[in-house]
Structure 1
Amino acid sequence: MEISYSPFLRDACGVHQLAALLMELDPSEEISRLLSADALYQMGRVEDAHKTLLVALSKSPHTAPILARLALLQLRKGFFYDANLLIKKVIQIGDTSCLQQIMEIFREEDRKLLQTHCHSRAVTILKNKQGDTYTKEAIAYLSLAIIASGSQARESLLARARCYGHLGQKKTAIYDFNTILKTDPTNVQALCGRAFMHLVLNQQKEAVDSIISALTLDMAGVVPEILSLKQEAQVFITQGLYSHCRTGLNQLASDRNLPREEASEKLLSIGEALIKIDATKSSWRIFLVDILILTGCYEKALEHLQEVLGPTPRFEPAQARLGFLQLKKKELGAAIHNLEPLAGKDPKDLGFLLHLLDTKQRHSLSQAAAEEGNALGKDQCPEKALGYYTLAVLASNGNPRYLRLRATCLSHLQDFSRALRDLDKVIQKHTASDLQTQVEDFCSRGRMFLGLRDEASAVEEFIRAFQLSPSLALRSVSAQPGPKQLAQMFHVAGQHCLEEQRYEDSWKVIEYGLLLDENSSDLKKLRGRLKREISWGCSIH
């Protein structure tokens, strides 16, 4: 049943007269009685309106528009029990849309009465009764309160959204939260509620974005909301926050052109919130320390760091932060000992700290770390030296000098594959001006392939060295593996090339092999055989 009130209710008296005429023509017409009742209400004749509605109700006892109007008038009179019975009947009928129209007629104070009553009734139901049936009943009352308010009842929208979430209607709940946020973007409860719904829908990015917005506005209000979640949900949301913000923090550290002040404030509030949620989690505390370090608050950073270090066993990430602060105080010796443990275990984490150092500080750090590695190497402690060489490599952005030192250390530890990877990086940075260094690098690679028992690859590397400078290459291999032993490997390689009819390659291997051992009978015989095969091949053609 629909009634259009504009422009009729601009003249309530005229509408009443028209309605009376219509009722005389057809006494059973329900719409005429509703128009009459509404007009009488507008004219201030509430009792007459009430009587008209009672007559209409006697003819149509299950009509929601009549029941809703009577409920509003009962509330106006203060008969709350009777009003609630009428509202309950409207809810049972399921036709609450009629309220949308009559809200245009009733005065603001009467609409407020309905809103307050329905909201209070819903809260009472939710507080005292459990189960989906009662939750749905509360939703109906809340919907009436929202309609009565013109969809501006934030508390009712919040309560209804939570009810929908409880019933598993997550997207409907998000719609209610968004309705609140359209008019009040800073509503922390709505932001948290929306975040939790996104969380259940496995929409982690949306959930984290909403939580970050809420934390920025009111950390004290958001933390209890998160703590009210089940443990697994808390873990999911806090881990999402941490991962998102750790990425942002690393970007701020690596790119000095990014605006830091506002972003740092947001990150700081999130770091503090994480600690309030779970103060025992070391990674949260380290995250807060990193934010304070980034913003130059070194004393505060040290205070939080002590909470992590304390009486607990040594924790590499915390040690590294302590080393960074010591480096800032120019305590270089202590700094490298605290930074080194993280170098081999988590280079990315260490990289965050290194980004915050200037060029001079990084140079001093890498030099001191390499010197410590050299000292340990002389004491026959390659395992301990390796961490310091790695620190030197990271601090220097892969300086070839320190890569060579680490490669040598790895070779002593028989880790030839990693050693080769380091030398690959060194060779990529070769310059034509330093011939001796290039030759030595190729010879070193050859020795590493020998460590892997890959003589064919080793010979290739030694040949690369000979092609650059035979004299320098001979000097490099004289001690290890030794000219005669290497000449034998060249003989095997040359023989293999000949068998595959790769004559040019075989000739090259033989010639360099004879540079190693000019008296090698095996190489001379192989050269003679190669000449004969080439000559025979030519005669065929």
Structure 2
Amino acid sequence: DMCEQLLTAEQSTYHNTLLALRGFCCLHAQNHHGALQDFQRVIEHESPHPSSCIKALCGRGLIRISGGSNYLTALDYITACQLKLDETIFTIKSYVPWNQRGLLLKVLQEEGQMMLQKKRYPGGSSVSFQKKQTGLCTFLTLKSRDAPGVFQLASLLVELDSSDEASRILCADALYQMGRGEEAQEMLSLALSRNPQRAPVLARLALLQLKRGFVYDGNQLLRRLIRIGDSSCLLPVLDIFQDEDRELLQSHCRWRALAILKGKQEAAAIKEAIAHLSFAILAAGGYAEDCLLTRARCYGRLGQMKTAIFDFNAVLKEDPRNVQALSGRGFVHLALRQQKEAVQDLISALKVEAGAVIPAILSLKPEAQGLVTGWLLQHGRATLSELMATKEVPGEETLRDLLTVAKALTKTCRTAQHHIFYTDVLMANGEHQEALKHLQEAFGRCPAEDFARARLAVLQLQSRNVAGAAAPLSALARRDEKDLAFLLNFVDTKHQQHLAQAAAQEGKVLMKGHDHQQALGYHSLAVLASRASPRYLRHRAACLMHLKKYEKALKDMEKVIQGHGCNSPKTQAGDHCCQGFLLLALAREEAAVQHYMQALQLDEPLALGTITECPGRESLTKTFHKIAQDNFEKQRYEEAWKITDYGLKIDKSSELQKLKARLKREASSCSIH
């Protein structure tokens, strides 16, 4: 009321002062609209009174906090400080209530920090701020967002609360951006003396020391920061640092990490190197390829494999063809025994630059090196076998990848299987001359290794040398039928037919000479080259019987019998007799009896002749009697009668005749016939 009376008086003395006082009265009475009108009239006056303007700016700043315009609040207080700092301090202490002063100081701290970090876009302002560009409004737009303005604001905050560390740090940051580094260092050193473990202070001091060329002091401060373990404090600091200073910090921390890694390889030293590399990455804005790669390797040494993969992924996100990241991640998957992922990464790296990956593989320990090459060979073999089995024309890219892997294997580990694989890939790619050249370079012109001799034979088949190819291929058949089956994919159908015939003929000759072991290889070659022809399966089964490998012979005869269809009864009867004999040898008598009965049913004279030769009529009749007796005891009279009847066809055994009589008596009430 008093202000109203004075303002309505005829004399206009102290008009602005009265408006400012009335504005604060309205503000304390929660009349923000009236307060804002009074403050605006003072600020927009053509001949502003500095003391009144300071009060008006402070009052308007408080109103803007309640409206959520914290940035504009900071601008008002910066302008007030630039007019007269002491007057601004007095106004805050005199007119701002205690319950609002704490919030005001916090808002000014945060906004000042964001101004220095360039996180505020200066375009936004209130309508009243834009309405007129006269008087004090023009001054408000000048330098209020620069470091000097923030320095004024920070100085105000320090005066209001000299014990507040955040205000001192804000003041030091503003001094740094103003180029007054020594003053900033003095202020930070004072803050550090009060709290030696304050990470934000240590980070700023470390940079200032490095900037001045005091490397030792900078290192000591960084080590103290590492021991505290709060690297997050660097993020706001780096937003304040100038570009050249961030680069300085990045290069120094990278250099320091590499120096540490060249020395001791203990866990503590590696962890310190990781901390320096983390500082360097932060200084680079979150991405520094060489530092990320080095840090990933350090994490790998400490056994933190998932963290290492995270760093490698960060590099690959920016550069998917980065060889070091691909191979490094592959080695981490190797350590985790993740075969699929390791192979995928290493093949990708080999495709980009094999010359860089091969030395990295060779640098591994022998055990790890063997595992890597083994996985690559296994993957390559599986892929090539699948390509050959489908009979489709292999894609150029797939073959190119296989060639890359195969060539790398021959350079990382010069074992026979790697040279064999490289030869196979060359053959699959149609490079027969190149395959022959490599084979002879690796194994000589007359290889002693069966796998190499077999490849040489296949390559010679291209020149129609079938006879010369059979011997080495039969040797491979004795050692590894799967590899021979794979190798025959490179031989055309016509050559395979000729090869089967030649192998079968040689197998017969060897069997006549009782060299069944050698004959087995030729018969196996004939079977594979003929795509499991029944005729050649019978020959191999006979050879296996001589070698007493009855299980394998039985499998061959099962395939033969499954293929019965257009064969004559005589042929089928012979096969069943052979199957029966094998089952007898394996003590599977009941199944053997069934096959002999089928043989008798198909061609009785042939069956009886075969039985007479082996196993003999008397011996087989005893088996029939045993099986028939078992069925009789289990009251399976019809089956017992059938077996007895066929057994009597083989030999008129008295035991079988007695059993038949008992069957008649026991089953007199049943119709057996």
Q: Determine if the TM-score, normalized by the shorter chain, exceeds 0.5.
A: yes
> 1:291/1:60 Cα in 2 relative to 1: closer, same or farther (>3 Å)?
same
> 1:440/1:6 Cα in 2 relative to 1: closer, same or farther (>3 Å)?
same
> 1:17/1:367 Cα in 2 relative to 1: closer, same or farther (>3 Å)?
same
**Distance of 1:498 and 1:87 partners within structure 2:** 96
Mapping for residues 74-85 of structure 1, pairs under 5 Å: 74-85=209-220
**Distance of 1:167 and 1:529 partners within structure 2:** 84
**Distance of 1:385 and 1:277 partners within structure 2:** 39
Mapping for residues 265-414 of structure 1, pairs under 5 Å: 265-279=400-414, 281-310=415-444, 314-414=448-548
**Distance of 1:6 and 1:65 partners within structure 2:** 16
> 1:497/1:139 Cα in 2 relative to 1: closer, same or farther (>3 Å)?
closer
Measured after TM superposition, the shift of residue 478 of structure 1 is: 5.8
**Distance of 1:491 and 1:60 partners within structure 2:** 104
**Distance of 2:244 and 2:385 partners within structure 1:** 56
Measured after TM superposition, the shift of residue 391 of structure 1 is: 0.9
> 1:169/1:396 Cα in 2 relative to 1: closer, same or farther (>3 Å)?
same
Measured after TM superposition, the shift of residue 442 of structure 1 is: 0.9
- Structure 1 residue aligned with 2:261: 126
- Structure 2 residue aligned with 1:252: 387
**Distance of 1:124 and 1:200 partners within structure 2:** 26
Is 1:110 aligned to 2:245, yes or no?
Answer: yes
> 1:422/1:99 Cα in 2 relative to 1: closer, same or farther (>3 Å)?
same
Identical amino acids, percent of aligned pairs: 50
Contact 1:308 1:318 in 2 (8 A): no
Mapping for residues 389-538 of structure 1, pairs under 5 Å: 389-431=523-565, 434-452=568-586, 456-474=590-608, 476-477=610-611, 479-480=613-614, 490=624, 493-494=627-628, 497-516=631-650, 526-535=659-668, 537=669
Measured after TM superposition, the shift of residue 312 of structure 1 is: 9.2
Contact 2:579 2:595 in 1 (8 A): yes
Mapping for residues 212-227 of structure 1, pairs under 5 Å: 212-227=347-362
Q: Identify the range of structure 1 (359-368 vs 262-271) with the bigger mean alpha-carbon deviation.
A: 359-368
- Structure 1 residue aligned with 2:114: 6
Measured after TM superposition, the shift of residue 42 of structure 1 is: 3.1
> 1:538/1:142 Cα in 2 relative to 1: closer, same or farther (>3 Å)?
closer
CA offsets 1:463-501 (integer angstroms, 9 cap, x no match): 111223435544654655566775665556555544554
Measured after TM superposition, the shift of residue 196 of structure 1 is: 2.2
Contact 2:115 2:150 in 1 (8 A): no
SS at match of 1:118: helix
Is 1:190 aligned to 2:330, yes or no?
Answer: no
> 1:371/1:105 Cα in 2 relative to 1: closer, same or farther (>3 Å)?
same
> 1:41/1:488 Cα in 2 relative to 1: closer, same or farther (>3 Å)?
closer
Contact 2:403 2:422 in 1 (8 A): yes
SS at match of 2:285: coil
> 1:278/1:452 Cα in 2 relative to 1: closer, same or farther (>3 Å)?
closer
> 1:110/1:478 Cα in 2 relative to 1: closer, same or farther (>3 Å)?
same
Measured after TM superposition, the shift of residue 19 of structure 1 is: 1.4
**Distance of 2:158 and 2:229 partners within structure 1:** 28
> 1:23/1:331 Cα in 2 relative to 1: closer, same or farther (>3 Å)?
same
Measured after TM superposition, the shift of residue 455 of structure 1 is: 5.6
What TM-score does the superposition give when structure 2 sets the normalisation length?
Answer: 0.73
Is 1:207 aligned to 2:342, yes or no?
Answer: yes
When the two structures are aligned, how many residues end up with a matched partner?
536
CA offsets 1:504-535 (integer angstroms, 9 cap, x no match): 23332343344445x76665555444334433
> 1:422/1:142 Cα in 2 relative to 1: closer, same or farther (>3 Å)?
same
Measured after TM superposition, the shift of residue 59 of structure 1 is: 4.3
> 1:92/1:449 Cα in 2 relative to 1: closer, same or farther (>3 Å)?
closer
**Distance of 2:161 and 2:226 partners within structure 1:** 30
**Distance of 2:499 and 2:396 partners within structure 1:** 28
Contact 1:173 1:197 in 2 (8 A): yes
> 1:25/1:304 Cα in 2 relative to 1: closer, same or farther (>3 Å)?
same
Q: Identify the range of structure 1 (119-128 vs 41-50) with the bigger mean alpha-carbon deviation.
A: 41-50
CA offsets 1:96-118 (integer angstroms, 9 cap, x no match): 22111111111221100000011
Contact 2:446 2:453 in 1 (8 A): no
**Distance of 2:168 and 2:195 partners within structure 1:** 11
Alpha-carbon RMSD: 2.9
**Distance of 2:236 and 2:161 partners within structure 1:** 24
Is 1:72 aligned to 2:246, yes or no?
Answer: no
For 1:184, the aligned partner's letter is D
**Distance of 2:393 and 2:294 partners within structure 1:** 41
**Distance of 1:43 and 1:60 partners within structure 2:** 25
**Distance of 1:92 and 1:70 partners within structure 2:** 16
Measured after TM superposition, the shift of residue 403 of structure 1 is: 0.6
SS at match of 2:491: coil
Measured after TM superposition, the shift of residue 270 of structure 1 is: 1.6
Contact 1:3 1:31 in 2 (8 A): no
Measured after TM superposition, the shift of residue 414 of structure 1 is: 3.2
For 1:273, the aligned partner's letter is A
Partner residue of 2:308 out of 163, 173, 177: 173
> 1:3/1:158 Cα in 2 relative to 1: closer, same or farther (>3 Å)?
farther
**Distance of 2:223 and 2:280 partners within structure 1:** 13
Partner residue of 1:141 out of 272, 276, 287: 276
Greater radius of gyration (CA) = 2
**Distance of 1:67 and 1:488 partners within structure 2:** 101
Measured after TM superposition, the shift of residue 192 of structure 1 is: 2.3
**Distance of 2:463 and 2:572 partners within structure 1:** 39
CA offsets 1:34-93 (integer angstroms, 9 cap, x no match): 222323333444454444434444544442222322322333333333333332332233
Measured after TM superposition, the shift of residue 227 of structure 1 is: 1.7
Is 1:27 aligned to 2:162, yes or no?
Answer: yes
For 2:400, the aligned partner's letter is E
For 1:431, the aligned partner's letter is G
SS at match of 2:667: helix
> 1:415/1:34 Cα in 2 relative to 1: closer, same or farther (>3 Å)?
closer
For 2:229, the aligned partner's letter is G
**Distance of 1:172 and 1:453 partners within structure 2:** 61
Measured after TM superposition, the shift of residue 133 of structure 1 is: 2.5
Q: Which runs of 5+ in 1 are unaligned?
A: none
CA offsets 1:423-469 (integer angstroms, 9 cap, x no match): 11111111055322212211222333455566654432221112234
**Distance of 1:531 and 1:363 partners within structure 2:** 57
Contact 2:458 2:490 in 1 (8 A): no
For 2:571, the aligned partner's letter is T
> 1:137/1:491 Cα in 2 relative to 1: closer, same or farther (>3 Å)?
closer
Q: Identify the range of structure 1 (52-61 vs 235-244) with the bigger mean alpha-carbon deviation.
A: 52-61
